[in-house]
Structures are given as C-alpha cells and as structure tokens.
Structure 1
C-alpha cells in the first residue's frame, strides 16, 4: 500500500467504526492529515467530550490518552502505539509525590497536564502551559508545589512574585537540553527570524525569546505575525507543520535535539491496524482514579476561566 492508499483506508475505517482521531501537533505531517482534530493535549480531550463518536483514537502519548479517558469515561479511548510514553510525565511516582506532599503540608499541588492519571489524583489543580499563570494566580494558597516541570514552574513563578513556589526537578529532556549557545547559533544563522519558544525550555532560552507560549500559541503567533522568518523552540514537527501551512514564510528549528521519539512512535500503520482491531491499547482507568483526577482538571477549567 502507498501512503495515500493507507490514508484513504483510514478515512474509510474511521467512518465505518465510528471513530474520531485526535492528533497532537507534535505528530508528523502524514498523521495530521488524517485527523478529525489537531491541537494540544487538553484541547483534544475537550474535543472528545463534545464529539458524537463513542470511539476515540489518541495519536500522542499515554498521558494524553489517559486525560481523554478521564474526561470521557463512557467512551472507548485507544492509544495506537502503546510504547508512546513521556519521560516528564513518568519521572515522578505517586508514592514519591505523597512523600513530598507530607513534607510540605501547607502547599497546594499544581500539576502540569503532562502527568500520569495517578499524579493528577493527588493534585489540587492541573494546568496547561497556556493557563498555568492564570490558574496559579487564582489559587487562594500563596504556597505552590509545582510538578513535574521546573522550567514551566519557574516561568510561572516569575510572573507571580507574591507567591512562593517549590518546583520538582526534572522536565522534558528535549526542551530542557536547549541552551543559550543554541539560541546564539540559530540567531547568527537567521538574524531576521523571531524566536518563538515553549516555556518548558530553560530560563536562559526563554529570556531571549520574542514570544513564549504553548504549542498552539506558537503556531498562532507565527501565522498572524507580519514577520517572514521564525526560529521555533519546541518539537521539530511544528516547523514542518508551519512550513506547509505558511509556505510564504520561513521556519527553522532551534535545534535538532528537539525531536521527540515518543511523539514520532505513532505511524499511519499503527492507526490503520488499530482501526482494524489488530493493534493499539484501550485505556482503562478505575472509577476512583477517574473521579479524583477529574477534580484537578475541573479546577483548572474553573480557575482558568
């Protein structure tokens, strides 16, 4: 089968099986082209809530599929490639977080949505990169324990100086590897380009950016900007997507180290075989986990508004 033939079969099968395909923006262009919806992880889960289909196929990583299941407990949620995980989401166990909470009883736990379902059950509120500042500002407690990304946590803390933050060490290994030297090299090669970065990058990179925001925020900024060239400081798929979407503009990756192998794990054949019932994994969470984890997501929505 050719790539085009597989895409046509996927389009046919998803209609035949009543399946909605959600695709995170870090997936490759070929996967994006068979999606019902493309976006950030939480936005995709919200799309699943309002979608009429009972079968949801999440093209991303495991924590995204879990978040989708938490918000859609009555739907069948599938992860096409069960090996697609997230080092940041998996770096902290529930036992470790319980110990940290016990050592800091006067702190409210704020969990980045890039966490496992188990960690979300222990959080007072979740956040996305786009609403983290707003949610943390509105939490009544002036002491916040931010997990699991210290870069995003520090970015938020800098904008809310009247609160005390404790950040767990770790973060996304790809964003975390970016350096001031990477920025200097990219700007030397592309002096007219604006630097757009994700707040998961270290402070020394964020401070040099022309725009700091979520994946969808970066893409929207690039689309709407009058500037003609951009250095993209997040997963390299975004460079590719913007090149297709804005062929009259130039896009450059901040570094080739920003390629996430977990996000690249899902292929068209994984999706095709999952629709045939020959591959993939259905996400199953118990009722107690769903109830407790949903509370932290509901708080994010309430405070984020």
Structure 2
C-alpha cells in the first residue's frame, strides 16, 4: 500500500533524506521513529505528494507520488505536527471547507464530522471557533479532518502531541480501529510507548536513512540480544551460582535473585528449576525482564559509529 524505493531529498547543499526504502502492506501500521532533524517529516511530506523527491520513487496505493500526485492526495489522510487550522472558523465550518474539496456533500460532512466530534469527547464543540479550542482540541480537529473522507492511507505526524492522557487514549483507540479496518498508517511519534502499543513494525531513521527496521520483537532480538530472565529463590545466594552457570548465561546475582539469558527458555527453564532444587533452593518466582522499545531506540540512535549500519 505504501512503497518507497531509494527515496532522497536534497535542499540546496543539505541532504534531508538519502536512499530510503520501505514497504507497508495494507492494514499495517509502521511507526517512524528518529531524533529531531532525522528526516521523518520530510519523508512523510514526500509520501504525501507535498514535496517532490530529488531521487528515488514512491507509490501510495499504486499511484506514483510525482506522476499521479492528485490521486495520491485524494487517497491519503494527512496530519502534520502543525495542522494549519483557520482559527476564525468554527470546527464544523472548517470540516465543511475541507470536505467539499474532497467532493463530499454537506450532509455527509456533517454526519461524519459530528460523529467524530462525539467520538473524540468533543460533543457540542463543533460550533465554537477554532481559536477558542485548546491545543489538544485543535490537534483532534486536525485528525478528524484527515479521516473525514475515509482515506485508505493515513500519514500521521505526532497525532497525540499536547493532548491530555484521556484524549491521547481516544486518538490511539481510533488509530487502532482504523488499522483493524485494513487502513494503512505511518505514524511519526516521539512517544515510544505509543509506538510499541500500536505498531506492527518499526523503522528508525537517522540522518535521513533508515538504520533499523522490523517488528519490535525482531529489533529487540537483533539489538538487545537474547531475552533476559530472572529467578528468585528462598535464600540469599552470597553471589554463588554453583552449576547454574553451565545451563544459562548468568548476568548478575543480586541477593536471592539470578538474572540470566538463554537461547531456548522452554528447554532451559525446567532444567534450571531442577538444578536449583538439587542445590536445596526453592524457586519463589521465575519471569522475563521486560526489554523496552526505548532501549532499542537509544541503542540505534546513540552517537556511535557502530550503530549506523543496523538493518532488518
């Protein structure tokens, strides 16, 4: 549904995006992560047929973003970090203005618009001027506008920025429902928990190039290594592990707890429990230690030479 092949954008002597390739199937959500200035917004603007690529190509729903830009713009819903609201209009007037551009009837615009105002906890606010809205409310109106014409592809740049937790949850729920309805989404966000919660796959961009791409599980395996687990026993170990080191890779012994890694926990954990029992130790708990997307992200964007070449 979304394809980019060696996409590049140069502004005079500055290269914003270089040799960027990605593929997002229908119904999938790709979270595009990266530090400020990495090229996320430039990439989204090229995919949305707003900026013309300097090199490479991209297609949205089979339409070329350069040769068939009008068709691309009709097929996408786009929310930028600054949604460009006309503050002297009311919320409904704003939706009518944009809905007519997409060929929707006024009746359909009002029906869809008011339903989404209610969905986003803004019932009764459609007749107020946008200038009277909070920043979070304005962001929600921008998202409503992007969804108004029922697009097959959504390009969302920081859709929950400036929102309170309740509003952000409403927007995340809406994005999740859109994905489940087989719409395709690219989500740019600095909220790593949000990305991990919503995304089918992650792409991390650094200096205009994708440096890591894949599912969260795949990236954790590639960049953080084997899953880490910990077992807690019924007495202090004094740093001693006995025969346990022959079964697993022990990383730390902390009082009554052993932290370790293993390639095959399904096979190793039962052996470990039996070994501990043979040593006279009772197992109180055995559980994995959560490895977060934040750890993956920080590893990739760390300002070290060796982090520049990770790929799926």
Bin for the TM-score computed over the shorter chain = under 0.3
Q: Which has the higher helix share?
A: 1
| TM superposition score normalised by structure 2 | 0.26
Higher Cα Rg, which structure: 2
Q: Which has the higher strand share?
A: 2
